[in-house]
Amino acid sequence: MRVETESRSRERLSAACSPPSPADRALPVLNGSATRVRPSRMSRRRAIVLVAVHLLMLLHVLHWVVAGRTISPIEPSETMYTLRDGRLNAGFIFFALALLATLLTGRFVCGWACHVVAYQDLCAWLLKRIGIHPRPLRTRLLVLAPLMLALYMFVWPVAYMAWFDIERPPLTDHLWTREFWATFPGPVVAVLTLAICGFAIVYFLGAKGFCTFACPYGGFFGVLDRLAPGRIRVTDACAHCGHCTAACSSNVRVHEEVARYGMVVDPGCMKCMDCVSVCPNDALYVGWGRPAVGARPTSPPKTVPYTFTLAEELVMVVVGLAALLAFRGLYDQVPLLLAMGLAALTAYVFMLLMRMVRSANVRLQQFQLKRGGRRTRAGTIFALASVAYLLFTIHSGTVRFAAWSGHRALAASDVDDRVWLPGSDWWAEASDRRRGHVERAIRRLTLADRWGWLPTPSVLTDLTWAFLAKDDLASAERVMRRMVARWPDGAPIRRGLAGVLRRGERYAEAEQAYRQALALDPAYAPARRDLAAMLATLGRTDEAVGVLLDGDAQEEHGSISWRLEAVRLLTDMQRWAEAEALLTDGGRRTLSTLEEWNLAGTLAMQQGKGKKALDAFRRAVELAPDAAEAQYNLGYALLTRAGAQAALPHLRKAVRLDPDNALYRY
């Protein structure tokens, strides 16, 4: 592969590469005789690279399994958590580097590092081996779907927070994780995702159909590719044989583009380099020069017929969007990328079915579905299968809508954590409007649960909240026991059952459920806190402290200091001497963190030791001057000892640092 600059005159390129006239539609041949397209040397090399990518992915998973901790997923979708939650992870860094690389050299990352591209190319190769050559779709509107999805995933969260003046969370380090698979689907859904997005979509929508119509990352890559100076370009050795187009697996009409522009300008080009490899005259190369944006053609464009009319594409957009809403999050299982792939397939299948109703002749790849106004056997099978699939889509949409409206109704009721506490008076104090929202939530969520083919955790969880809000403890317990039976290894579900039992003041059963949750996952902090709080409420403070201290023993590299949690508990129970002894380890520990100094100050304040509290809070502010809690604590302590003039600067700074905290404003 040679790297050259774009210094050759466009006149020479135009003369050498001018396209054939409309009267001559066949591709030209060399020396007056047909020549066979030679095999691409790049195909084998790229296959080796993609296999190596999969081996690295496997090693990444194995490292997590063996070590229990590994680099966070190198997956571009993880970027959402960085932008929305401030969690800096490896996926964000990889995506940023991939975008930068694409801006410079085009979509090499897509062609040489994407596992979904590998599956699609494998599918296309297998289909060709059995004589099936999927025709690519040529559309006006559907190709914009990846960009729209990319804007929704990566731009909308940032724009939403900026528009509503929501403070962005601080950037935190999540480059390493113990929960590697937390954001990935289970094995069944993962296999289904690969089957739909990597294989089925190729047969229906053509080679790299997922990249063209459903990949959100490709939405950004396609835009940046137009700006990349590194491109596939052509010399005047081009004989316009068309071998490059025949070898291209990305549906790019290479021979036409290099003839008109002197380079490939289609953003769908993934730099697989097959065109460069098969060129009999070595006329194609990767070189630096002006990007595709602003490139001027040397000849009028050829008219490429679109697969569907504009009206048909508009209908497909509506159907695809409806299918996306129907499938995304279905049963808390379907991820966005799978939903997008299914949406693209649904739109295509629907329109093909409509053509079978309206047109005399309809074809799907190698199958003639309708001929001369009559359905063929293949057409009958396709129609029956399509109707069944569309009914499944409608059913899925009905279940999703019922669940969505139920979740919204419960959120509108403003139900709060009080419904989990023994003796809750939430329902008695709730207005008729809030009660109506709870009743509506129960009806909609029950419908979603009853009509769904699989139990949905979020539906059952919100049903439990709604039943607790209504004081229907028997129904709440019934739902939670269903969840425990369905997911017996889920620590959060055991904690939910314990909460329902605690609400009914069945403390012995609740304690057993909490301990079962901790046995399943000793690092599950909410269950440990809830169990300790319940034991302390029952007067079993020593046992509660023991539960908390056991957390440090269970979490070798835990992010929570359970010793300090125990100190807080003892402080709240006014067992100050024990709290101070635990905080300082009997005087042997030197306090060093913001949390420790804040606790020391709070402990001193509760004992009436004002000077000692001030010293502790001042030390906390010195350690972290931008910590709102430290500023507020110091201001409050000064207010009680030195007056408002000394306290106000710290109290005002606490409000500036955390304007949403009502306590600081009070």
Span 106-116, pLDDT tens digits: 999 999 999 99
What are the E-state strand segments in 547-630?
A: none
Please state the pTM of the whole predicted model: 0.84
| Alpha-carbon gap, residue 380 to 387, rounded angstroms | 11
| Alpha-carbon gap, residue 544 to 569, rounded angstroms | 8
pLDDT tens, residue by residue, 584-621: 888 788 888 889 898 999 999 889 888 898 999 999 99
Query: What mean pLDDT comes out for the span 289-301?
Result: 88
Q: Say if CB 115 and CB 50 are below 8 A apart.
A: yes
Q: Say if CB 598 and CB 629 are below 8 A apart.
A: yes
For residue 592, which phi and psi values (nearest 5 degrees)?
A: -140, -10
Calculate the alpha carbon distances from 252 to 1, 215, 239 in Å: 20, 18, 18
Can you read off the two tokens belonging to residue 196?
Answer: 């739909």
Q: Say if CB 215 and CB 1 are below 8 A apart.
A: no
What number of helices (H) and strands (E) belong to the chain? 33, 9
Tell me what pLDDT residue 36 has: 85
Task: Name the β-bridge partners of 375.
Answer: 370
Is residue 559 pLDDT above 80, yes or no? no
Calculate the alpha carbon distances from 18 to 24, 298, 632 in Å: 13, 8, 75
Task: Name the β-bridge partners of 233.
Answer: 263, 285
Taking alpha carbons only, the member of 524, 469, 470 closest to residue 492 is 524
pLDDT tens, residue by residue, 230-247: 999 999 999 999 999 999
CB atoms within 10 A of CB 539: 10
Calculate the alpha carbon distances from 282 to 163, 243, 248, 275, 277 in Å: 53, 11, 16, 10, 8
Tell me what pLDDT residue 555 has: 60
| Alpha-carbon gap, residue 32 to 463, rounded angstroms | 75
Is residue 23 pLDDT above 60, yes or no? no
| Alpha-carbon gap, residue 272 to 258, rounded angstroms | 16
Determine the residue type at 550.
D
Task: Name the β-bridge partners of 371.
Answer: 374
Can you read off the two tokens belonging to residue 332?
Answer: 């808390």
What letter does residue 604 receive in the DSSP assignment? H
The rounded mean pLDDT for the chain is 90
| Alpha-carbon gap, residue 599 to 583, rounded angstroms | 8
Tell me what pLDDT residue 321 has: 97
Query: What mean pLDDT comes out for the span 61-66?
Result: 96
Q: Which residues contact 327 (CB under 8 A, 6 or more apart)?
A: 334, 338, 339, 342, 343, 393, 396, 400
112-118-121-125 Cα dihedral, nearest 10 degrees: 120
